[in-house]
Protein backbone atom coordinates (compact mmCIF):
# COMPACT_ATOMS: atom_id res chain seq x y z
CA UNK A 1 0.00 0.00 0.00
CA UNK A 2 1.17 3.53 -0.82
CA UNK A 3 0.28 6.20 1.73
CA UNK A 4 0.85 9.90 1.14
CA UNK A 5 0.55 12.43 3.95
CA UNK A 6 -0.01 15.94 2.60
CA UNK A 7 0.28 18.76 5.09
CA UNK A 8 0.79 22.47 5.55
CA UNK A 9 3.80 23.60 7.52
CA UNK A 10 6.98 22.08 8.80
CA UNK A 11 7.27 20.44 12.21
CA UNK A 12 9.32 22.73 14.43
CA UNK A 13 9.29 20.89 17.76
CA UNK A 14 11.93 18.16 18.12
CA UNK A 15 9.73 15.95 20.29
CA UNK A 16 7.04 15.87 17.57
CA UNK A 17 9.61 15.18 14.85
CA UNK A 18 11.03 12.30 16.92
CA UNK A 19 7.58 10.78 17.45
CA UNK A 20 6.56 11.15 13.82
CA UNK A 21 9.82 9.63 12.59
CA UNK A 22 9.45 6.70 15.01
CA UNK A 23 6.01 5.81 13.63
CA UNK A 24 7.13 6.31 10.03
CA UNK A 25 9.94 3.83 10.73
CA UNK A 26 7.51 1.34 12.30
CA UNK A 27 5.26 1.62 9.25
CA UNK A 28 7.98 0.53 6.80
CA UNK A 29 7.08 -3.20 6.84
CA UNK A 30 3.42 -2.39 6.15
CA UNK A 31 3.32 0.47 3.65
CA UNK A 32 5.35 2.88 1.59
CA UNK A 33 4.74 6.26 3.25
CA UNK A 34 5.65 9.64 1.82
CA UNK A 35 5.19 13.00 3.56
CA UNK A 36 4.64 16.01 1.29
CA UNK A 37 4.65 19.49 2.82
CA UNK A 38 3.79 22.98 1.64
CA UNK A 39 4.75 26.17 3.44
CA UNK A 40 1.91 27.82 5.29
CA UNK A 41 0.47 31.00 3.88
CA UNK A 42 1.00 34.09 6.00
CA UNK A 43 -2.14 35.47 7.60
CA UNK A 44 -2.48 39.17 8.49
CA UNK A 45 -2.56 39.91 12.24
CA UNK A 46 -6.25 40.79 12.18
CA UNK A 47 -7.58 39.26 8.97
CA UNK A 48 -10.95 40.06 7.49
CA UNK A 49 -13.18 37.16 6.53
CA UNK A 50 -12.21 37.73 2.88
CA UNK A 51 -8.47 37.67 3.70
CA UNK A 52 -8.86 34.47 5.71
CA UNK A 53 -10.79 32.84 2.87
CA UNK A 54 -8.14 33.91 0.35
CA UNK A 55 -5.38 32.35 2.47
CA UNK A 56 -7.36 29.12 2.86
CA UNK A 57 -7.99 29.01 -0.91
CA UNK A 58 -4.30 29.46 -1.78
CA UNK A 59 -3.19 26.90 0.77
CA UNK A 60 -5.93 24.47 -0.28
CA UNK A 61 -5.03 24.65 -3.97
CA UNK A 62 -1.37 23.94 -3.20
CA UNK A 63 -2.28 21.06 -0.89
CA UNK A 64 -4.56 19.45 -3.48
CA UNK A 65 -1.82 19.61 -6.13
CA UNK A 66 0.21 17.23 -3.97
CA UNK A 67 -2.51 14.55 -3.85
CA UNK A 68 -1.58 11.70 -6.22
CA UNK A 69 -4.08 11.12 -9.02
CA UNK A 70 -6.50 8.30 -8.22
CA UNK A 71 -5.62 8.25 -4.53
CA UNK A 72 -8.39 7.85 -1.96
CA UNK A 73 -8.41 11.15 -0.05
CA UNK A 74 -8.91 11.32 3.70
CA UNK A 75 -9.12 14.94 4.85
CA UNK A 76 -8.47 15.53 8.55
CA UNK A 77 -11.24 17.92 9.51
CA UNK A 78 -12.59 18.99 12.89
CA UNK A 79 -16.08 18.71 11.33
CA UNK A 80 -15.42 15.26 9.88
CA UNK A 81 -16.61 11.83 10.96
CA UNK A 82 -15.26 10.39 14.19
CA UNK A 83 -14.67 6.65 14.30
CA UNK A 84 -12.88 4.10 16.46
CA UNK A 85 -9.47 2.87 15.28
CA UNK A 86 -10.94 -0.54 14.48
CA UNK A 87 -13.45 1.04 12.08
CA UNK A 88 -10.75 3.10 10.38
CA UNK A 89 -8.63 -0.04 10.02
CA UNK A 90 -11.60 -1.91 8.52
CA UNK A 91 -12.26 0.96 6.10
CA UNK A 92 -8.62 0.96 4.98
CA UNK A 93 -8.67 -2.84 4.57
CA UNK A 94 -11.90 -2.60 2.55
CA UNK A 95 -10.34 0.01 0.26
CA UNK A 96 -7.43 -2.37 -0.35
CA UNK A 97 -9.81 -5.23 -1.14
CA UNK A 98 -11.49 -3.02 -3.73
CA UNK A 99 -8.23 -2.16 -5.48
CA UNK A 100 -7.49 1.17 -3.80
CA UNK A 101 -3.76 0.82 -3.11
CA UNK A 102 -3.04 4.55 -2.87
CA UNK A 103 -4.31 6.47 0.14
CA UNK A 104 -3.72 10.13 0.95
CA UNK A 105 -4.26 11.82 4.29
CA UNK A 106 -4.43 15.62 4.11
CA UNK A 107 -3.86 17.95 7.09
CA UNK A 108 -4.58 21.64 6.64
CA UNK A 109 -2.75 24.54 8.22
CA UNK A 110 -3.31 26.48 11.42
CA UNK A 111 -6.35 28.29 10.01
CA UNK A 112 -8.23 25.25 8.75
CA UNK A 113 -9.37 24.03 5.35
CA UNK A 114 -10.90 25.60 2.28
CA UNK A 115 -14.27 24.47 1.00
CA UNK A 116 -12.49 23.13 -2.08
CA UNK A 117 -10.37 20.79 0.07
CA UNK A 118 -13.40 19.60 2.03
CA UNK A 119 -15.30 18.96 -1.22
CA UNK A 120 -12.40 16.95 -2.67
CA UNK A 121 -12.39 14.51 0.26
CA UNK A 122 -13.52 10.94 -0.17
CA UNK A 123 -13.82 10.88 3.63
CA UNK A 124 -13.56 13.75 6.09
CA UNK A 125 -12.11 12.33 9.29
CA UNK A 126 -12.01 13.91 12.75
CA UNK A 127 -9.84 12.59 15.56
CA UNK A 128 -11.77 14.46 18.25
CA UNK A 129 -13.93 17.43 19.05
CA UNK A 130 -10.93 18.73 20.99
CA UNK A 131 -8.64 21.24 19.32
CA UNK A 132 -5.08 20.14 18.45
CA UNK A 133 -2.32 21.95 16.61
CA UNK A 134 -1.91 20.75 13.04
CA UNK A 135 1.62 19.59 13.97
CA UNK A 136 0.20 17.47 16.82
CA UNK A 137 -2.40 16.03 14.44
CA UNK A 138 0.42 14.80 12.21
CA UNK A 139 1.82 12.75 15.11
CA UNK A 140 -1.63 11.42 15.97
CA UNK A 141 -2.20 10.53 12.32
CA UNK A 142 0.96 8.47 11.84
CA UNK A 143 0.26 6.67 15.12
CA UNK A 144 -3.28 5.84 13.94
CA UNK A 145 -2.05 4.66 10.53
CA UNK A 146 0.42 2.39 12.33
CA UNK A 147 -2.31 1.15 14.69
CA UNK A 148 -4.54 0.37 11.67
CA UNK A 149 -1.71 -1.54 9.99
CA UNK A 150 -1.18 -3.64 13.12
CA UNK A 151 -4.92 -4.32 13.44
CA UNK A 152 -5.21 -5.28 9.77
CA UNK A 153 -2.27 -7.68 10.08
CA UNK A 154 -3.75 -9.33 13.18
CA UNK A 155 -0.94 -8.09 15.40
CA UNK A 156 -1.51 -6.89 18.94
CA UNK A 157 -0.92 -3.20 19.64
CA UNK A 158 -2.16 -1.71 22.93
CA UNK A 159 -5.73 -3.01 22.80
**pLDDT at position 57 over 90:** yes
Considering only the top CATH level, what class is 2-41+50-152? alpha beta
Average pLDDT over residues 24-52: 94
Strands 2-8, 102-107: parallel, antiparallel or unpaired by DSSP? parallel
**pLDDT at position 159 over 90:** no
Q: Give the number of other CB atoms < 10 A from CB of residue 141.
A: 21
Tens of pLDDT, residues 62-87: 999 999 999 999 999 999 999 999 99
**pLDDT at position 45 over 80:** yes
Average pLDDT over residues 25-40: 97
- pTM value is 0.95
Average pLDDT over residues 15-32: 98
Amino acid sequence: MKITIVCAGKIKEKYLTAGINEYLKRLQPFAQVEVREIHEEKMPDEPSAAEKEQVLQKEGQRLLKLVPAGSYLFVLDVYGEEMPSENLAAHIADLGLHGRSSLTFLIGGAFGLSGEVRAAADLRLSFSQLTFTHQMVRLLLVEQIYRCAKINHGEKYHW
